[in-house]
């Protein structure tokens, strides 16, 4: 299912050209899958489980967006390290919220996952809106183009840098 959602996400991105909105939409599919795991009867929970796999495509698209929208060697290394630390912390906390006394529904753990995914949707949309605003701000104050790639300027400092939305 991961491959199916990654291909679907790539197809949607090719049609819309918007990575972060596609990423947010895939996380919404994940949230719907988590809700299905809680509310559907036991025999139909497989549908919810399949929908939860949309997170893999969203993660791949998010990593691609981070790589495409970070300029400057040091900043790129730092941003990738922070993303990896956040992903690792989530993988540590995730199993800890699934306690055995909540079996077989694991309502507290699933609600925690839903809450975390809702936060991800809002952060993704917020980052996308911020980048669009920065693109408009830089377009309103154009600076002559320089092709000197020797400068190790970050995306915030470089007046010619355009974020890929």
* pLDDT per position as a tens digit, 131-141: 999 999 888 87
C-alpha 48/C-alpha 56 separation (Å) is: 15
Confidence of residue 151 (pLDDT cuts 50, 70, 90): low
Q: Read off the tokens for 119.
A: 């936060």
pTM of the model: 0.87
How does the average pLDDT of the chain come out, rounded? 88
- Work out the number of other CB atoms within 10 angstroms of the CB of residue 80: 14
Which residues fall within 8 angstroms of residue 81, CB to CB, at 6 or more apart? none
Confidence of residue 142 (pLDDT cuts 50, 70, 90): confident
Among 30, 1, 20, smallest CA distance to 117 is for: 30
Q: For a pLDDT cut of 70, what percent of the chain falls above it?
A: 94
CB 135 within 8 A of CB 165: yes
Helix (DSSP H) and strand (DSSP E) numbers for the chain = 6, 0
**Residue 146 confidence (pLDDT) above 80:** no
Give residue limits of the domains in the chain.
2-135
Q: How far is CA 9 from the centre of its chain?
A: 12
Helix, strand and coil percent figures for the chain, each rounded to 5: 75, 0, 25
């Amino acid at each position: 299912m991961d491959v199916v959602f990654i291909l679907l996400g790539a197809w949607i991105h090719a049609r819309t050209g918007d990575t972060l909105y596609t990423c947010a939409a895939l996380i919404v599919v994940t949230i719907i899958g988590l809700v299905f795991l809680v509310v559907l009867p036991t025999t139909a929970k497989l549908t919810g489980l399949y929908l939860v796999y949309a997170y893999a495509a969203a993660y791949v698209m998010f990593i691609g967006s981070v790589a495409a929208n970070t300029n400057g060697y040091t900043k790129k290394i730092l941003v990738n390290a922070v993303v990896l630390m956040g992903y690792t912390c989530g993988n540590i906390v995730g199993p800890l919220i699934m306690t055995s006394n909540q079996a077989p529904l694991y309502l507290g753990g699933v609600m925690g996952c839903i809450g975390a995914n809702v936060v991800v949707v809002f952060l993704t949309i917020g980052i996308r809106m911020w980048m669009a605003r920065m693109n408009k701000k830089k377009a309103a104050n154009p600076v002559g183009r320089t092709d000197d790639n020797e400068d190790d300027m970050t995306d915030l400092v470089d007046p010619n840098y355009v974020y890929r939305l």
